[in-house]
Amino acid sequence: MTIEEMEQLDKAKTKILKYILYKKRSEGEIRNKFSGTIEENLLDDAIEYLKEAGYINDKEYIKKTVNEWKTLKNLSQKEIQFKLLSKGLNKEDIEDYMSENREELENFEIKSAEDIIYKKESSKEAEEIIQYLLKKGYKMDNIKKAIEEE
């Protein structure tokens, strides 16, 4: 590697590092952001370096992101999966996380459904709320459990 290439790699690493230190990002998000501005093989090298240094870790990103969503939003498991996929994450990593945390995610989905039912029950009929939740990807079993808890 020439000195010029090493300087370009350092610039690329610095650019990406600034981007991910501002807010944690997935590898897919980083690639989308810089694919037009940083040469492809340089981007690959920079990402590989930052992965080895621990700055980019998609499995950890999934865990942190889902935990953040759980405190801020009401989501079904399908919505969580879709949102993670939209961030350019590996489908296998997402499925592994979902299966490893199945019970916790089931309970979160039930609680989310309860919250939505509570918020909407004064303005909508029960059947409308159920249809709304089904469209959002909630499982019927979890909707029933949420209704029973209400």
- DSSP notation for 35-73: TTTS-HHHHHHHHHHHHHTTS--HHHHHHHHHHHHHHH-
- Same-domain check for residues 46 and 66: no
Q: Is 125 left (phi over 0), alpha (psi -120 to 50) or beta?
A: beta
Q: What mean pLDDT is predicted for residues 73-101?
A: 96
- Same-domain check for residues 79 and 145: yes
- Same-domain check for residues 110 and 63: yes
Helix ranges, the chain (H): 3-22, 27-34, 40-52, 58-72, 77-86, 91-100, 102-120, 126-135, 140-149
Query: Which domain does 18 fall in, by range?
Result: 3-56
* pTM score, whole prediction: 0.86
Render the burial of 78-117: b for 16+ CB within 10 Å, e for the rest. Answer: ebbbebbeebebbeeebeebbeebeeebeebbbbbbbebb
Residues whose CB falls within 8 Å of the CB of residue 142, separated by 6 or more in sequence, listed in order:
76, 106, 109, 110, 113
- Same-domain check for residues 67 and 19: no
* Contact of 54 with 60, CB cutoff 8 Å: no
CATH number, domain containing residue 36:
1.10.10
* pLDDT per position as a tens digit, 105-146: 999 999 999 999 999 988 889 899 999 999 999 999 999 999
- Same-domain check for residues 75 and 35: no
- Same-domain check for residues 141 and 97: yes
- Same-domain check for residues 35 and 105: no
The predicted pLDDT at position 150 comes to 67
Q: With a cut of 80, say whether residue 1 has pLDDT above it.
A: no
The predicted pLDDT at position 5 comes to 85
- Same-domain check for residues 45 and 65: no
* Contact of 70 with 34, CB cutoff 8 Å: no
- Same-domain check for residues 72 and 141: yes
Q: How many domains does the chain have?
A: 2
- Same-domain check for residues 44 and 109: no
- Same-domain check for residues 126 and 63: yes
- Same-domain check for residues 93 and 31: no
Which of 17, 39, 56 is the endpoint of a domain? Answer: 56
